[in-house]
Amino acid sequence: MPMSTRARLRNPFASRTPRKHKDVAKPKLFLFILLVRLVNATTLETYFQADEFYQCLEPAHRLVYGYGYLTWEWHQKLRSSIHPLIYALGYLVAGENRFLIRQMPKVIGAVVASVGDFYLHEFVQVYDNDGGGGGGNLGWVALCLSLLNPFNWYVSTRSFSNNLETTLTIVALRYWPWDHEIGKGSWYISLACGVVSCIIRPTNALIQIPLGIWLLVNTRISRTSAEWIYLSVLVVLAILALSTGLDYLFYGELTFPLYNFLEFNVIKNLSIFYGVAPWHFYIAQAIPLMMMTYIPMLVYGIRCSILLATSLIYLAGLSLLQHKEFRFILPLQPIMLYYAARGYRKLKAKYLVILGVFANIAIALFFANVNERGVMDLVDFLESTNSSVGFVMPCHSTPWQSHFHNPDLQMWFLTCEPPLHLNAPTLDEIKAYRDESDQFYDDPAGFLARRFGTDLVEPEYVAIFSPLEKVIDQELGGRYIESNRFFNSYFHWDGRRNGDIVLYRKIDHNLE
């Protein structure tokens, strides 16, 4: 029996649904996903992490408008320009329209997330038929799990480089030659997406390299493969050259962010300045948070395969790094959703999943619209006042020019520059170093007495998190009075950011 005939017999959906009908349905499917993600992006009202603004929107805003806050990473040229350049295109479209300046990043984030969701469906469908041995419309299950995942609703449309990296990883997995047919054009799409994902986040190599080794081991390389090797090398070199050219235009000089990134995080090991987590962080905290009610299905659906091996290698590699964040393992999300979809297919009591859906919706709405919304409400209020403000908060606690869009901005915040003068510091050396935010929280009263009104210009408003109320009342009580209070959070991983946000206004004694 010919191979194509056997394939059709294994996959009953291939014989029931004409290819033309499938091709027509794909644009409709993508538009549906895009509509969902646009609603997702435009209804987000909470703050998650500073990188959403300071590692993407601020550099993009500065590139287009000539002003925006650049953190030390951009001065040290640690990051690829590809990610902010995408959002810079949105600002070019927005021009000086303040509404569009706020909305274009959300639209771009929704498009990035939609492409990821669409190709998640495609990847799972292809892999399950060609490599997973399951058959059936498992791609639809994975897509629904992704759209109903509260972590995805909370994170996937934000302007994190991890989201773009994840989408590129999903596209690479979709076009990966699971059937070992390396000569097809789809291979070069997969290769290109894999290379770009590694440029954006070098740790993605821990996914691409194991898959590449698996492919080479399981593929017969013959003399006719010379063209494939030549074209593959050419694709990689072309992408690296294009990336270098974009970085040259962005930074104004020849630089190699990939090397700079590795030097900072691996050679100098300065990433530990931003926190150290135990080795089991990703297993004990990150995966449960990312998958939530899907955890039982994930465990139930796991099977030994190259995807599982790759995931374990990726987790092991990142677990060896001392600095860890939830977002760092987002590229494993499509693989985990694939296994969760398999678990759902094997699950007999599917009504339990329906109950989980309602729980997911409640969790998603809570984090997307309730917890940590005060930061965004504060920014909206301050934008309307056009007054000077001092943010007496941990560094980067609010968005900046991507929201204020004001070249005459008279505002300041406490900074947190790392100890760039140290080379491969120990944890004790890192703890001994105190940035500006640390200096303030070590001695709030003394810090304000020394610096407030001198090098930190006395502003019209002072914004704080509520744990500092007593300090501000004692030190600035004769000059400032509470003006507004914004609910921010019921809980927060950082005790300095707990509770409400309190805005103090300078007392005008001439009106007394």
- List residues bridging with 452 in a β-sheet: 456
| Tens of pLDDT, residues 171-211 | 999 999 998 888 788 999 999 999 999 999 999 999 999 99
Domain extents in the chain = 3-369, 374-511
Q: 168, 85, 171, 86: which is closest to 126 by C-alpha?
A: 171
d(C-alpha 187, C-alpha 178), whole Å: 10
Average pLDDT over residues 125-147: 80
CA dihedral 413, 46, 73, 334 (to 10 degrees): 170
3-class SS of residue 486: strand
Is residue 497 within 8 A of residue 489, CB to CB? The reply is yes
In degrees to the nearest 10, what's the CA dihedral of 44, 48, 52, 58? 90
Q: Buried b vs exposed e over 342-358: b needs ≥16 C-beta within 10 Å? A: bbbbeeeeeeebeebee
Q: Is the pLDDT of residue 447 over 70?
A: yes
**Which region, left, alpha or beta, applies to residue 494 given φ > 0 means left and ψ of -120 to 50 means alpha?**
beta
Report the alpha-carbon distance of residue 128 to residue 139 in Å, rounded. 8
CA–centroid distance for 14 within its chain: 36
The amino acid at 338: Y
* Averaged pLDDT for residues 464-485: 93
pLDDT, tens digit, for every residue of 40-61?
Answer: 999 999 999 999 999 999 999 9
In one-letter notation, the amino acid at residue 241 is A
CA angle 388, 391, 396 (to 5 degrees): 120
Token pair 């007999």 is found at: 348
Q: Let me know: does 388 contact 411? Beta carbons within 8 Å.
A: yes
Greatest extent of the chain over all pairs of C-alpha atoms, in Å: 95
Fill in the amino acid letter for 98: R
In the 3-class helix/strand/coil scheme, how is 102-138 assigned residue by residue? HHHHHHHHHHHHHHHHHHHHHHHHHHHHHCCCCCCCH
Dihedrals phi, psi of 127, to nearest 5 degrees = -65, -40
Asked if residues 127 and 76 have their Cβ atoms less than 8 Å apart, the reply is no
Burial class (CB in 10 A: 0-12, 13-18, 19+), 253: exposed
pLDDT (tens digit per residue) in 77-102? 999 999 999 999 999 999 999 999 99
Q: How many CB atoms lie within 10 A of CB 489?
A: 22
- 427 SS3 class: helix
pLDDT digits (tens, 9 = 90+) for 249-294: 999 999 999 888 888 877 777 777 777 889 999 999 999 999 999 9
Q: Which residues contact 142 (CB under 8 A, 6 or more apart)?
A: 120, 121, 124, 334, 337, 338, 340, 341
Question: How does residue 121 score in pLDDT terms, banded at 50, 70 and 90?
Answer: very high
Is pLDDT larger for residue 351 or for residue 329? 329
* Cα 248-253-257 angle, rounded to 5 deg: 65
